[in-house]
Structure formats: C-alpha cells, structure tokens
Copies of this chain bind each other. A is one copy, B any other.
Amino acid sequence: MSSISTSPHSHLLLPQNQNHFLSESGTHASFTPSPRPFRPISIKCTSTPAQVQTHDPLPAQTRAQERVFNFAAGPATLPETVLRRAQSELHVWRGSGMSVMEMSHRGKEFKSIIEKAESDLRTLLQIPSEYSVLFLQGGATTQFAAVPLNLCSPADAVDYIITGSWSDKAFKEAQKFSKPTIIWSGKPEKYTKVPSFEALQQNPDAKYLHICANETIHGVEYKNYPTPKNPNAVLVADMSSNFCSKPVDVSKFGVIYAGAQKNVGPSGVTIVIIRNDLIGHAQESTPIMLDYKIHAENNSLYNTPPCYGIYMCGLVFEDLLEQGGLGEVEKKNVKKAEVLYNTIDGSNGFYKCPVEKSVRSLMNVPFTLEKPELEGEFIKEAAKENMVQLKGHRSVGGMRASIYNAMPLAGVQKLVAFMKDFQARHA
C-alpha cells in the first residue's frame, strides 16, 4: 500500500482510464434520458467483477452503482452533476497537484474557492454589500447561542416565535445568554401554523425577533416575514432547511443563518449572513469561535474552516446559477410540492398533511396514513422501489418526504405514482 503512496507521479498508472472516466462522468449536457415510466421498475446494474485488491475486505464485486431517490431531511440528496464533478477532481483539483482536502486554507487555490463561493452566493441571494457572509462550523445549533451572544446583553429582552421544534430549541438556548420571550407558539395546535403578524404581542424593547423560516420536522414555512416592532430591533431567521430554495429579500433581516446540509452542501458548514453594523458587540464571555467579529475580520479564515464542505457548497451555488438562479429554482420547487400535496389532498383522506395550506413547506412534506398500521409496509415497499428515508421524524411519526432543490421532479413523480398504487392496493 505504501508503495503507491510514495510517488507523486502515480497518475501515470491511469491516464487513459482517468480520461475515460472523465469523459463519461463529466458529459451531461448532451444526454437525454428516455421518458421514465411512473410505474416503479427495478433495474439493477451491478459492476462486472474486476480483479481489484481492495483496501479492506469489502465485496467490491457486489457494489451496485445504482442511485436511489433519497427523501432524507438532511444531510440530503445533492445534485448528481455536482457529485460527478466533485468525484472527477477529488484526487487532484484542477492542476493544483492536490485534493481540495489537502489544501492550505491560506493558499491561493483555496482562497479562489472560498471567494468564488461567497461571490456566487451573493449573486444568488442578491446580498447587499453592507452584509457579511461567513462560512462557519457547528451547525444551526451553535448559532442558537451565537445569535444572543452577539446581538444583545444578558439582561436584554428578545422575542421568539415558536412554529416547531427548531425554533423551540433556539429559544431554549437563548435563555442562557438573554431574556427571551415566546411571543407566540404553535405547540397547542401541534405546530401546523404560522401566526398572524398583526396579532403578535411583540416586546417593544426586544433587541431582535427570531423565527425559523422553515420547520424541517413539522413542515411549516413562512411565506412572508414579520417586522420587529422596535425600530432598532432586527429580524433573525434560521433558514437551514429552505436556504437558497427561493429568492429572499436579505435586507429585511439582520441575521440569516443556515446549516448547509439541506439545499447547498454536505454537513459541517454553517452559513451566516449578517448586517455589518451588528458585528462587534459580542458579550465578553463569548467563546472566540462564536464571535462574528473574528470571522468577519478574517474572511472566515481565522482558524481552519471546513474547506471541503465550502468547496462543495461552491459547486452547488454554481449549479443553482446555471439553473437560472433562485427564481427558476423556486418554480421547480413549487411544481414538485404541488404534485405531492395534490396527491395527498386528493386521496380522500387516505393520506393527510396536518399543516395549514397557506404555510405548507415547499421543502419538507409531512403526511400521515389514515391507517397508521400500514406505515411500516409503506416504508418497506417504497425502499424496495429505491425511495428511501420517508419515515417521519421520531418526535412526530408518520411520513415525511423532504424534496429539497436537488430532488428531481422525477423523484416526486415516482413517489406519487407509488402512493397512488399503494392506496389502490390498501384502501
């Protein structure tokens, strides 16, 4: 094993095949698939056994290369073109002589990667110049602490609207670093609604108003946004599960934060978009890694960032721009959601979505079966047809289909065809 790793020229072993690989995997624009039937089919393509000396005793000869439709809530399906691109340049990135995973975060190669990622994200969301974009670690859960630590003092009032599990978690963490108030909670109605903004009893002194723009578990999504009552306060949004799924007027927010692992990349990257005047006021006891100032001043390179994840986000941003930007992406997401919600609503109660129609999420579609005893069978049969991760979150049960940007319409069409067939057989 060490024999090959001692040579930086071992590529000499496979220039031909590398080219073969690239030319097949990299070509996609000219490929037109034949129309796919909705009736579930089971095609298997198993690699021909090669005389491969594998790295461990894995059965290489049985590794099917078939892709499934993955309805997981996050980490979630990524665009296949992005994965192919990443695969083709994993070993050596664009003539740099190394993998992106090996690059110094202070070298010119990675600098070009992170700067392009930021620039493309700014284009996608039309982020105003007075906002900073930070690529951080620790997930939205770390932001639950960072937001109050940076935006208020321990004695300050802040307002939280609770539309599901995630906004509730954000509120609980804020109790350590501020005086938060729940000004509305959807809990009595099992998190199926967004409140009327006019009726909200906002605290006139609150330093910010916090919302979760899309509740991943409960499938509740804001279609527009409340304005803080205090003219000096800002709106803060956890957009983890609908980030970059549609255009957003960033100027309405003080802070937007999002874990990458739903719409824009792998887990391990957290993106924060923050208005510059809100930076530099962190509480004294703020861990340095939670202080927005240190990251803004260092262009997210204060310490070693999650480089490969940022690179992957950059590839996704390129892909979204190629699709025509977030307006086009939103159209596709609306279409997919319509197909799925219409099937649920048209099932005569066999399937039910509990969420109020006006705030149903375009990203996460929870639904229940009239006969809950069929749930196990539903999930098992769907998995056989290569549709996986349809089980609802353990805290709510039922089903949940997450249909993020990278879920193709064909995936949703296959799912609803299956749902109709399943209903016909079990109604």
A residues sitting closer than 8 Å to B (CB atoms) are: 1-33, 36, 43, 45, 47-48, 50-56, 58, 60, 62-70, 72-81, 83-87, 89-92, 94-99, 101-105, 107, 137-142, 144-146, 149, 173, 176-177, 259, 261, 265-269, 284-290, 302-309, 312, 315, 318-319, 322-323, 386, 388-389, 406, 408-411
Q: How far is the CA of A389 from the CA of B36 in the complex (A)?
A: 50
User: Please, which residue of chain B has its CB at the minimum distance from the CB of A93?
Assistant: B63
User: Please, which residue of chain B has its CB at the minimum distance from the CB of A56?
Assistant: B318
User: Please, which residue of chain B has its CB at the minimum distance from the CB of A54?
Assistant: B26
Q: Which of B36, B66, B94 contacts A92 (CB 8 A)?
A: B66
Interface contact A10-B102, CB-CB below 8 Å: no
A9 touching B45 in the complex, CB below 8 Å, given contacts A21-B14, A87-B90, A91-B84: yes
Interface contact A98-B68, CB-CB below 8 Å: yes
Q: Which of B47, B288, B406 contacts A173 (CB 8 A)?
A: B288
Q: How far is the CA of A91 from the CA of B33 in the complex (A)?
A: 19
Interface contact A20-B19, CB-CB below 8 Å: no
A273 → chain B, closest Cβ, in Å?
Answer: 19
User: Please, which residue of chain B has its CB at the minimum distance from the CB of A99?
Assistant: B83
Q: Which of B67, B137, B305 contacts A10 (CB 8 A)?
A: B67
Interface contact A102-B75, CB-CB below 8 Å: yes
Interface contact B142-A386, CB-CB below 8 Å: no
24 contacting pairs across A/B (C-beta < 8 A): A3-B28, A4-B31, A6-B33, A6-B410, A8-B66, A8-B69, A8-B410, A10-B80, A11-B45, A13-B31, A14-B25, A15-B45, A17-B24, A28-B53, A55-B81, A55-B319, A62-B95, A63-B95, A70-B102, A74-B104, A74-B304, A105-B267, A139-B289, A266-B307
Interface contact A76-B102, CB-CB below 8 Å: yes
Q: How far is the CA of A298 from the CA of B66 in the complex (A)?
A: 32
Interface contact B307-A308, CB-CB below 8 Å: no
**A411 CB contacts on chain B under 8 angstroms:** 6, 8
Interface contact A104-B72, CB-CB below 8 Å: yes
User: Please, which residue of chain B has its CB at the minimum distance from the CB of A76?
Assistant: B102
Interface contact A21-B26, CB-CB below 8 Å: no
User: Please, which residue of chain B has its CB at the minimum distance from the CB of A64?
Assistant: B95
A20 touching B20 in the complex, CB below 8 Å, given contacts A98-B70, A105-B267, A289-B141: yes
Interface contact A67-B11, CB-CB below 8 Å: yes
User: Please, which residue of chain B has its CB at the minimum distance from the CB of A9?
Assistant: B43
Most buried by B among A17, A47, A137: A137
Interface contact B309-A306, CB-CB below 8 Å: yes
Interface contact A15-B288, CB-CB below 8 Å: no
A168 → chain B, closest Cβ, in Å?
Answer: 13
**A318 CB contacts on chain B under 8 angstroms:** 55-56
Extra pairs beyond A63-B95, A64-B97 (8, CB < 8 Å): A1-B29, A4-B33, A12-B43, A16-B48, A26-B53, A107-B389, A141-B289, A142-B287
**A30 CB contacts on chain B under 8 angstroms:** 53
Interface contact B67-A55, CB-CB below 8 Å: no
A68 touching B97 in the complex, CB below 8 Å, given contacts A50-B19, A60-B22: yes
Q: How far is the CA of A55 from the CA of B94 in the complex (A)?
A: 13
User: Please, which residue of chain B has its CB at the minimum distance from the CB of A154?
Assistant: B285
A176 touching B285 in the complex, CB below 8 Å, given contacts A11-B67, A20-B20, A389-B107: yes
Q: Which of B48, B54, B75, B105 contacts A103 (CB 8 A)?
A: B75
Q: How far is the CA of A72 from the CA of B304 in the complex (A)?
A: 13
User: Please, which residue of chain B has its CB at the minimum distance from the CB of A104?
Assistant: B72
Interface contact A90-B81, CB-CB below 8 Å: no
Q: How far is the CA of A278 from the CA of B60 in the complex (A)?
A: 43
Q: Which of B45, B149, B285 contacts A177 (CB 8 A)?
A: B285
Interface contact A267-B33, CB-CB below 8 Å: no
A15 touching B287 in the complex, CB below 8 Å, given contacts A28-B3, A267-B305: no
Q: How far is the CA of A319 from the CA of B102 in the complex (A)?
A: 17
Q: Which of B67, B259, B269, B303 contacts A8 (CB 8 A)?
A: B67
**A149 CB contacts on chain B under 8 angstroms:** 287
User: Please, which residue of chain B has its CB at the minimum distance from the CB of A315?
Assistant: B55
Q: How far is the CA of A305 from the CA of B270 in the complex (A)?
A: 12
